[in-house]
Amino acid sequence: MYLSGDHPICAKAIARTVGIIGEHSETRDELAERLRISIEEVDPGSVKAVVIYGDELDGLKDAELAELLARYEEVVFSRIIPFQKLRIVKACQQLLHTVAITGRKYEDHESLKQADIGIALANSSCDVCCDNADIILLDKSLLTFVTALKEGRRVFDNLRKSIAYVLTCKITMIVPFFLLLVMDIPLPLGVTFIILIFLGSDMISAYSLIFEKSDRDIMHRSPKLMKEKNVIDFKFIHRLLHKSCCCLGLMASTAGVYTYFIIMAENGFMPHDLHGIRKAWYSKAVNDLKDRYNQEWTYSARKELEYCSQTGFFVTVVVVQLFCLIGHKTSMESLLTHGMRNYVMNFSLLFSIILAVIYCNTPVIRFALHTYPMK
């Protein structure tokens, strides 16, 4: 839609130049001239474009104006005064359209305030327009607005990706305590390792998602309604529960639990042997706890095996969460097309691996945190 105070011929020419009226679209007067009939004989439904003068707009009721806006795809208003501009904005909003409008004169401030997005030019607009506008362009190019809109959508998407990744990682910290309570087994992941995961892996990885580039279809999405402007809404929670938590979060937790049970089984404690063993496992008075091979385990030996199993859980979770991080880069594109050009994320992937290696192989840290080198 194009609103102008210019002559109808000039407004229609500008609209064709910028693509508001299509190259092959005709208005009623053009179709009447081509068919050599009067304009009254032309069926209004046979054309997609229409040019409305300001005087014609005054003769239309609000319902007729709304019907006209809903009927035609390409609309141009010429010889429009500020009051008529405000009326057009309200009519579009009644049709549940998201309205963006530009203005630079004092009389345009009401339209800018009424529109969903008011745009003013800093150099050529009056102070009242700038005060009522939502966006103030520092230059005269509307391409700047498109760039700002794309950047805003990218920041919005990346904020959601970061939230989804953080909540996914929390599943891996909940599952070990759930197993501790339900199966009554030795703790699969200690508090120390949870802190290491949070400080060494989660923070920088979640931060790196902020620098992710936008998806290719980001400018083809329809604008959000006012009720959908929250970062966390029902649709986001639904996708989070199905994809992030139930898929990626449980995948990381399952991998960690699998490693924990493998290390325990290699040392004589099968998964069904661990069920209900927690009380005897943590008792300092029990120094002859037998495994399936009838080997007796002292309290100190059991703690070493527990720390070794927790280290395995920790390393597995760190590695799997790296793939979860890559999985949150984009929700629609393939990784082959989206690429790995987020250098902050690439650094976080390498940093997490190096940090896990340091935790498990540095003697001083091993002694302080009770970590063990992995095979």
**pLDDT tens-digit readout, 159-203:** 888 888 888 888 888 888 888 888 899 989 888 888 888 877 788
pLDDT on residue 260:
94
- For the cut 80, the answer to whether the pLDDT of residue 65 exceeds it is yes
Band the pLDDT of 370: cuts 50, 70, 90. confident
- For the cut 70, the answer to whether the pLDDT of residue 228 exceeds it is no
Question: Distance between CA atoms of 191 and 197, rounded to whole angstroms?
Answer: 10
Better pLDDT: 224 or 348:
348
3-state secondary structure of 289: strand
Sheet holding 49-53, edge to edge: 2-3, 74-78, 49-53
Q: Which residues contact 168 (CB under 8 A, 6 or more apart)?
A: 244, 245, 248, 249, 252, 324, 328
For the ranges 56-60, 81-85, 139-143, 204-208, which has the lowest average pLDDT? 139-143
- For the cut 90, the answer to whether the pLDDT of residue 27 exceeds it is no
The 10s digit of each residue's pLDDT in 303-316 is 999 999 999 999 99
- For the cut 70, the answer to whether the pLDDT of residue 348 exceeds it is yes
Band the pLDDT of 297: cuts 50, 70, 90. very high
Percentage of the chain lying above the pLDDT 70 cut: 95
Overall average pLDDT of the 54-62 stretch: 84
Overall average pLDDT of the 290-313 stretch: 92
Question: Distance between CA atoms of 315 and 375, rounded to whole angstroms?
Answer: 11
Question: Distance between CA atoms of 7 and 30, rounded to whole angstroms?
Answer: 16
The 10s digit of each residue's pLDDT in 66-124 is 888 888 888 888 888 888 888 889 888 888 888 888 887 877 888 888 888 888 877 76
Better pLDDT: 302 or 142:
302
Band the pLDDT of 225: cuts 50, 70, 90. low
Could you tell me which of 165, 162, 205, 213 has the C-alpha nearest to residue 349?
205
| Tokens linked to 106 | 């004092």
What DSSP character marks residue 244?
I
Mean predicted lDDT score pLDDT of the chain? 84
- For the cut 60, the answer to whether the pLDDT of residue 207 exceeds it is yes
Overall average pLDDT of the 272-296 stretch: 91
Question: Distance between CA atoms of 223 and 245, rounded to whole angstroms?
Answer: 27
pLDDT on residue 344:
92
- Helices (DSSP H) in 212-328: which residue ranges? 234-239, 250-266, 271-274, 278-281, 299-327
